Structure 1
Amino acid sequence: MLALAIGVQPLAAAAQDRNAPATLEDLIPDSAVDNPDAWATGDAEAAEPTESALDPDSPMAELPGVEVAWPDELDIPEPEPIEQVETEEDAFAGLEEFRRGGERANGGDRAEVEGRDFIRIDDRLIIGFPDDNDGFPEKTEFVSRFKALSTIEQLDGDEASVAQISRRAEADAELLARLMRIYGYYGAQVNRTVGSRRPGEDRAETDPVVRFDILPGERFAFGEIDLGNLAAAPDYEQLRASFDIQTGMALNSDKIVAEQRDLDTELGETGYPFAAIDAPELLVDHDRLEGDLTMPVEPGGKYVFSEVNSSLPEFLSSKHLSRIARFDKGDVYQRSLEQDLRRAILATGLVSSITITPRKLTEPVGDEPGELALDVGLQKADLRTIAGAIGYGSEDGFKLEASWEHRNFFPPEGSIKFRAIAGTREQLASVGYKRNNFKARDQVLTLDAYASNITTDAVEARSVAVIAGFERLSNLLFQKPFSWAVGGGFIWSDERNRVIGGIARERQEYLIGGVYGRATIDTSDSLLDPSKGFRVTAYLAPEVSRSRGTETFYLRNQLDGTYYRQIGSNVVLAGRGQFASIQGAETFQIAPSRRLYSGGGGSVRGYGYQAVGPRNDFGEPTGGRSLVEGSIEARIDTGFLGGAVQVVPFIDMGSVSIEKIPDFRFVNWGVGVGVRYKTGFGPIRVDVGVPLNRNPLFDSPVAVYVGLGQAF
């Protein structure tokens, strides 16, 4: 048995009056100061100072004492390691090699020194790993994640003291340990050292620097996987495959979150609107080096769509909402289709808020799914809109525009709109009817009647027209690989070429009737700002024109193509080509407003609107019967303003011929540069174009164009 001896010695003291006040000299005499050991043992003679009060070679007398029994078992906690605050070589052995060799080999951010892989986070922070990448393959991702969360990294420049660094180093050590556990290293050790900078570095050697040494240890694996009642689902194999965690896989907490999300998505897309997933729990067993995962899942039964019910049937009927939906009765429920219906109803502009609630109609029986209804709750929005705009453009001059619209004048989605324009080059009054989602989703029926007076560099035309159209649109909500339009109408027009130098040109009346058809194939990845893919549009319009008792038949046709390709990470190369012609009539038989022209912001930049092509003796653009255009531009991301700004150099060409087959007698080239500012509704475009072979009499040295969306 262990024993602890505690010595007790009597103290000698002279008798004195107990009532007399004691002084410091009375309590501690001078002899006690000169020889405290002798004074403490009561040896008055020995207390006198001598040359040698104690022989150092003499044995120490055994002290009398008492023995205290020591417990057989006493659990004394191991003291926490004391953080070392060191300087010079003890704190950063190997940093000289890091500085000399690592900076040459890795730009100063990384170096391998004596079996360690050091990564410099910043001037005051270094992390060391074992140099075996197989032991910790997520090292690069780990370091990036730590750097974003580090409290030391957030300190400002030179304001950090040793005390601040030490406190934050403790927090960062805990952060590193947590991050290691996320990657499955539950036995990882993180050692920190806080020291000063070595001599020879750029700053004073008293500047604090922290080094963390990480020993990952064994990586834990997933043990048992418990997904609750998921096996009761008819699609269990498919659903289980979407949750890509199996026993024996390396443990990773991030993967649990990601796979939970994937399983939730798969349940929502395969017919389980009432599925529920509880929060996952991980039980880590250090003896087995495994973590058992429990995540209770209740599928809630599989269902198919049955019906859509509107809360405002007189406003937007249930039948109309069913047309808008991209699913039919009997289709397996998909959460994405429910969300698409929500967005499509909001896109009508007729409602301010919407709720969609799945409701069970019949329960599933065996492997047969149940049926459900979608109950749609609607809140009406303001249906009338008054709009106006005033502006000036180099092509259009001054323009004042106003409109009034009722978006549900003829329910459902039958709108009526009155519009007026008063401007330098255009005056217009129109009334239009439009029914959106006519008979099916994104099909639009339109009917327009208008009277206009237009003056351009090429023509003056006073027109009255009635136009009807029916089209299937591709829009931002539902971009389609194939879209089309058909229509027709009648136009009465009184036209002449412009009055030049006070010389009045002869006016001529035309009565024009025709039909048209248009089809577009679109593989691009965006309507407003594409970066890959192509678009091809074909247009045909047979027309008949009657003027001065003569009827003329001709066919207008046009083919447009655009191509987009990503070059590297920050450049999109875009190209455009267009061919158009009018077959079956001579140029003079076609109304000036129906001929082909080129030039302007959406055509050949650097030239005015309709300014490219042949001119008559008065200098007026006459238009032609054939047209060829081409453009190439590079859309270069600059990184400015969070990547919202692009610089776009471009080159355009255009040729208009009097003949029905292009003869390229008149070819115009324009070059320039533009700026794009990307917004949530598409890029805002500003282009500055310079005509390369301009006519000094008609073409300006520079032209500026402003618009929404890319040029093509």
Structure 2
Amino acid sequence: MSLADRAPLATAWTLALLAASLVPAGEARAQETDAPAATPVPQLTAPDAVDMRQMADPLDIDPLAPLDQLPGMEVDWPEGDDVPAWPGEFATEDALPADTQSADAADSANPDSVATGADDVRDGLVAAVPVGETGSASESTDVEADTRRAERQAERQAERQQRRAERRSLREIDDGDVRYRVVVNFEPTADLQALDQGAFTDRFRLLSALETLSDDDANLAQVNRRARDDRELLDNILHVYGYYDGDVRNSIARIEGEERVALTFDITTGPVYTLSSIDLAGLDAVGVDVPAMREVFGMAAGDTANSDKIVAGRLALLTRLLETGFAFAQTGEPDLLIDHELRSAALTVPVTPGGQYRFGDIVVGDDSLFGSRHLQRIARFDNGDIFQASDVDDLRRAILATGLVSTVTLTPVAALPPQGTEPGTVDIAVETAAAPLRTVAGALGYGTGEGIRAEVSWEHRNLFPPEGAVRARAVGGTQEQLLNLVYRRNNFMTRDRVLTAQVLASNINRDAFEARTFLVAGSLERQTNLIFQKKWTWSLGAELVLTDERDGRGRIDGGARRTFFIAAAPVSLMYDGSDDLLDPKSGFRLGGRVSPEFSLQSGSQAYARIQLDGSYYQPVSERIVLAGRVRLGSTLGADRFEIAPSRRFYAGGGGSVRGYGFQRIGPRDGNDDPIGGNGLAEFSLEARVRFGAFGIVPFFDAGNVYADSLPDLTGMRYGAGVGVRYYSSFGPLRIDVATPLNRQTGDSRIGVYISLGQAF
């Protein structure tokens, strides 16, 4: 039996039970009527009482049997006609002008009617005639009142017609994809001066449902929902800035001549609330400099009850506690008690300092990568220093910068509690997860100036713990073959110091020279990296080079190869005042390198190679950055033909003057091959224009190589072109296409350069 079949039977059974119970009650009422007033009313019960517990179910319903499936239910999606009844407002509960509110209600009931006397009574233009009194409202008014009433009726009728026209206009564009524009207006008031309208509007647009979903299809009903959410959002933002009596009114209207609507929010801020009191509860603890902490909080009684400033003050207070030894300090959620009558707020911020501590030991759970001693070497704090949370964070970043770990967690652990005014001791527990330590890499490429080139490398970044890396590299190509073995130890003896030793054997056959070289070199340096971009970096090195070389002149006249034994001590110093290592947008960089060298080849020759580099970055707008570069080089103390061809200056290529081949700029021999020089000058200018993740970079380069040591800036070669940048998470990818403007014989018309990072 279905549920529908059981319903009539159940109803009949219920009525029968009610009838049975009502019959005795009727008899009782009759007896009560006939009885004397003083006679007590007896307690009556039904003569044939039914025991419901023993009664069988006449419908024979099994309570455990499943019910038949209910019919399906569907709710239709709002159609275009479901627009707000009043097109000047989003919702009926929005505040309407007092003189049109009741008239609009009448429109909803009878939109084609005209204003009548009943409307006058409803709108308060005339008084209603009390029931029972003779005469009419028109008899109690004079001619002037009749005229005013007629004018008002005409105005209301015009309003009705306008509203109907607006409704029709909105329905015409309600095709399920309504386009709109959001406008925020502030009503001018005295308290508005305390509000940063720009910051307010920016915050609203960042969080606005209308702005976030502006590209999604929506009908007017959905746009209405978004607008109501945004009105609540504006109310909340007003509270953030201390306006608790603000009023937000919203309206919608079709933009004349366009297939979209304007969504307007008119904001009246009302008076701004101020802080009546500030209670930093719990701040008065041992070791806490209370006056300094209140100053750090940055707010006082009488200040605006701005939630942003309260949150910032709480963070500043917690940061100062963590920086002055209170390793376990906490601050609770601010409590703001609003008094609408006084237009003020009482602020309470719970503070739990938790005692002052000094640094103890660094404890490493797994010392397979590095032990406690090594981490203490790279930490910027010593045992016994007052605890500072920034030092702990710095150590965490330094561990990540090693490249040996994928994750690292540093946890302060109380080793000795404070004793009276004496700070306690806190150890730093270090937990790490090792990153992959071995890397195998390969590259294959072709360049018009360098030919085919293939490279393969293997690296173990912690073969000799701690941080002792070994890298083997091999290069094979049409112009270069190379084997290189490098040992590198980061954080050598102290933080940020790098020890490098390498052995290299190479064979180079380029247009400029041929060289078979064996090199042994070592250096001690301070380097920069992506995590810690350092202002100052330096390098001290030593090189021993045995090289057998021949330049273009030797190839022409059949001259023999010359063997050079060179000892060099290169020194470099650089200052980096830019804002980014791979993609600088402001600041400048200056660097210098001096390499005193002593060469033995049919006699001895001492000379010095000097190179200066500078670059400058100037933002023009949020999207455009102008960048300039200059490079000057000079070899002092020897003629260019007295030094090895590989130690001379060359220019041209992607990192030099774009548009020209690699090392193709400068003096040339009889075969039109470059022979290098003792002087160098290069200049570059770029305009870096960015559009989201991509950018366009028009550029102009100039440069030349000179036989003399001092460049005289004559005979400059110019190149120009345009580049494309893709700004990835690890830096910009560069593709530059350039052409030489005053090319020489043998120069290509187009040069293409691809690399990671900006050109300079």
| 1:124-167 C-alpha deviation (Å, 9 max, x unpaired) | 76666432263463444444444455556647799534x55665
**Once the 2 structures are TM-superposed, how far is the Cα of residue 176 of structure 1 from its aligned partner?**
3.5
Find the counterpart in structure 2 of residue 662 from structure 1: 711
1:131 alignment partner, one of 188, 191, 195: 188
Distance in 1 (alpha carbons) for counterparts of 2:326 and 2:401? 27
Find the counterpart in structure 2 of residue 591 from structure 1: 644
Find the counterpart in structure 1 of residue 673 from structure 2: 620
Find the counterpart in structure 2 of residue 455 from structure 1: 509
Find the counterpart in structure 2 of residue 187 from structure 1: 245
**Once the 2 structures are TM-superposed, how far is the Cα of residue 650 of structure 1 from its aligned partner?**
1.8
Distance in 2 (alpha carbons) for counterparts of 1:395 and 1:167? 64
Find the counterpart in structure 1 of residue 749 from structure 2: 701
Distance in 2 (alpha carbons) for counterparts of 1:81 and 1:660? 82
- For 1:116-155, what aligned pairs fall within 5 Å after superposition? 129-132=186-189, 134-135=191-192, 137-151=195-209, 154=213
Distance in 1 (alpha carbons) for counterparts of 2:600 and 2:662? 27
Find the counterpart in structure 2 of residue 686 from structure 1: 735
Distance in 2 (alpha carbons) for counterparts of 1:666 and 1:512? 32
2:609 matches 1:556: yes
CA contact (8 A) 2:180 2:261 kept: no
Find the counterpart in structure 1 of residue 567 from structure 2: 513
1:672 alignment partner, one of 691, 709, 721: 721
SS in 2 for 1:438: coil
| 1:573-602 C-alpha deviation (Å, 9 max, x unpaired) | 222222211112222211111111111111
The one-letter amino acid of 1:532's match is: S
- For 1:160-199, what aligned pairs fall within 5 Å after superposition? 160-161=219-220, 170-191=228-249
Query: Which is strand-richer, 1 or 2?
Result: 1
RMSD: 3.2
Find the counterpart in structure 1 of residue 283 from structure 2: 230
- For 1:220-299, what aligned pairs fall within 5 Å after superposition? 220-232=273-285, 233-299=287-353
Change (3 A) 1:145 1:701: same
CA contact (8 A) 2:191 2:269 kept: no
Distance in 1 (alpha carbons) for counterparts of 2:426 and 2:630? 50
TM-score, with length taken from structure 2: 0.72
CA contact (8 A) 1:605 1:690 kept: yes
Query: Which is helix-richer, 1 or 2?
Result: 2
The one-letter amino acid of 1:410's match is: F
Distance in 2 (alpha carbons) for counterparts of 1:485 and 1:320? 23
| 1:179-224 C-alpha deviation (Å, 9 max, x unpaired) | 3333323233445567x66xx93369xx987665544333222222
2:374 alignment partner, one of 303, 320, 324: 320
**Identical pairs, percent:** 45
CA contact (8 A) 2:554 2:561 kept: no
SS in 2 for 1:231: coil
**Once the 2 structures are TM-superposed, how far is the Cα of residue 558 of structure 1 from its aligned partner?**
1.5
2:531 alignment partner, one of 473, 477, 481: 477
Distance in 2 (alpha carbons) for counterparts of 1:126 and 1:496? 74
Distance in 2 (alpha carbons) for counterparts of 1:578 and 1:331? 45
The one-letter amino acid of 1:242's match is: V
**Once the 2 structures are TM-superposed, how far is the Cα of residue 427 of structure 1 from its aligned partner?**
0.7
The one-letter amino acid of 2:455's match is: E
CA contact (8 A) 1:234 1:367 kept: no
**Once the 2 structures are TM-superposed, how far is the Cα of residue 437 of structure 1 from its aligned partner?**
0.8
**Once the 2 structures are TM-superposed, how far is the Cα of residue 302 of structure 1 from its aligned partner?**
2.6
TM-score, with length taken from structure 1: 0.77
The one-letter amino acid of 1:132's match is: T
Find the counterpart in structure 2 of residue 644 from structure 1: 693
- For 1:279-678, what aligned pairs fall within 5 Å after superposition? 279-313=333-367, 315-365=369-419, 368-498=422-552, 505-547=559-601, 549-637=602-690, 639=691, 643-664=692-713, 666-678=715-727
Change (3 A) 1:400 1:131: same
Identify unmatched segments of 5+ residues in structure 1: 1-78, 97-121
Distance in 1 (alpha carbons) for counterparts of 2:505 and 2:223? 77
CA contact (8 A) 1:497 1:620 kept: no
**Once the 2 structures are TM-superposed, how far is the Cα of residue 687 of structure 1 from its aligned partner?**
1.4
The one-letter amino acid of 1:693's match is: N
CA contact (8 A) 1:91 1:193 kept: no
SS in 1 for 2:284: helix
Identify unmatched segments of 5+ residues in structure 2: 1-91, 112-154, 163-178
SS in 1 for 2:759: coil
The one-letter amino acid of 1:177's match is: D
The one-letter amino acid of 1:181's match is: H
The one-letter amino acid of 2:694's match is: V
| 1:80-106 C-alpha deviation (Å, 9 max, x unpaired) | 88875589987999xx9xxxxxxxxxx
The one-letter amino acid of 2:693's match is: A
Distance in 1 (alpha carbons) for counterparts of 2:214 and 2:696? 36
Distance in 1 (alpha carbons) for counterparts of 2:532 and 2:258? 59
| 1:649-705 C-alpha deviation (Å, 9 max, x unpaired) | 22222121112222445421112222222222221111122111111x221111111
Distance in 1 (alpha carbons) for counterparts of 2:336 and 2:203? 22
The one-letter amino acid of 1:563's match is: Y
